[in-house]
Each structure stands twice: as C-alpha cells, then as structure tokens.
C-alpha cells in the first residue's frame, strides 16, 4: 500500500486517529458551513491548508487542481482551507480558480486542531473519518488515494 509522506516537520502526527472536527465557512460548496465531518461520511476528504500570500501555495495550485480534476465524480472531496478574510479569498479566486470547495477558518480553529505550522500542508481523511496521512500537496499521488476508495478506508499514510 502506498504511504503518504510524513508530517513535513509539522509536529504531532494524527495518522490513524479520528480527524479533529473543523468548523468551516464554505465557498464554492453546496453547504454554507461544515460543523463536523458527518456530511462527508463515506467520502475521502483532502484538506489543503493554504493562503493567498503563500508563494509555495501558488506553485502547488496547478498540481492540486489537476489532482482534484482526476478524481472528479469519485467519492473524494477536496477542501482548500485558509484563515484569511472572505473578501481577500474571493478576490484571489477571480484570477486563481481552485477546484473543490474553498473553506474559511476565520478563528484559526482548524489550523490549530491540525497543528498546521506552515503552508501548504495537506491532510487526507479516510472514509471512516480517520486521518490517513499528511504531506505536501506536490507529493500527493493518485495511487495514494486509490486504496482509500477501494474498500473500508484503511489508513494509507503515516508520519515519522
């Protein structure tokens, strides 16, 4: 089974544990907000922590969008999470489209819950709501998500 890269120096690993809840305001989504993971039960979730001012995030955006496009129509939900003001994010999206949902974390609680120390940072949650891995977006490959989609959602990643 393919392994996701380790924690990228981001602190404590959550791999194998239930995904911490996140209260997110959603843009480009059928829901206005996400209070917990219940609406996405049975789906693999790819959380991408990013910012409009982050040069590395901009460099990763084409890979992330291509990756999300390759899973269109499958049981995978891509959510790009930022802690920036909505007006800044909406202005950014006019010139830099992002596939999937865009989420606002106005109080930084999701960033805190996942102990995000740098951006970009990717967390994959399996169908059972457990953290399957954490990595950089450019290291995420289709073969890393396929085992999570094939059955019970066993963890596909680890962190050192």
| Structure confidence at residue 72 (pLDDT) | 93
pTM: 0.86
> Looking at residue 64, what is its pLDDT?
92
- Judged against a pLDDT cut of 70, whether residue 158 lies above it is answered with no
Q: For the segment 14-58, what is each residue's pLDDT rounded down to a tens digit?
A: 788 999 988 899 998 998 999 889 999 999 999 999 999 999 999
* Fold of the domain built from segment(s) 24-150: Glutaredoxin (3.40.30)
Cα distance between residue 35 and residue 26, in whole Å: 10
pLDDT at site 12:
55
The mean per-residue pLDDT over the stretch 1-21 comes to 61
**Cα end-to-end distance, the chain, whole Å:** 17
Contact residues for 32 (Cβ-Cβ < 8 A; gap 6+):
25, 26
Dump pLDDT digits (tens) for 68-123: 999 999 999 999 999 999 999 999 999 999 999 999 999 999 999 998 989 999 99
Based on its alpha-carbon atoms, the radius of gyration of the chain, rounded to whole angstroms, reads: 14
Which residues, 6 or more positions from 159, have their beta carbon under 8 angstroms from its beta carbon?
6, 7, 13, 14, 15, 133, 134
Q: Identify the pLDDT of residue 154.
A: 42
Sorted by where each begins, the domain ranges of the chain are: 24-150
């Amino acid at each position: 089974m393919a392994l996701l890269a380790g924690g990228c120096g981001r602190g404590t690993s959550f791999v194998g544990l239930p995904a911490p809840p996140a209260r997110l305001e959603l843009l480009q989504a059928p829901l206005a907000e996400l209070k917990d993971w219940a609406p996405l039960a049975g789906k693999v979730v790819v959380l991408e922590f990013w910012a409009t001012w982050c040069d590395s995030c901009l460099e990763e955006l084409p890979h992330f969008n291509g990756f999300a496009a390759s899973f269109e129509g499958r049981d995978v939900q891509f959510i790009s999470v930022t802690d920036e003001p909505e007006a800044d994010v909406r202005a950014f999206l006019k010139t830099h489209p992002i596939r999937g949902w865009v989420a606002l974390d106005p109080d930084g609680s999701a960033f805190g819950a996942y102990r995000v120390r740098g951006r970009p940072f990717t967390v994959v949650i399996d169908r059972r709501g457990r953290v399957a891995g954490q990595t950089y977006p450019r290291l995420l490959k289709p073969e890393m998500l396929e085992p999570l989609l094939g059955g019970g959602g066993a963890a596909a990643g680890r962190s050192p």
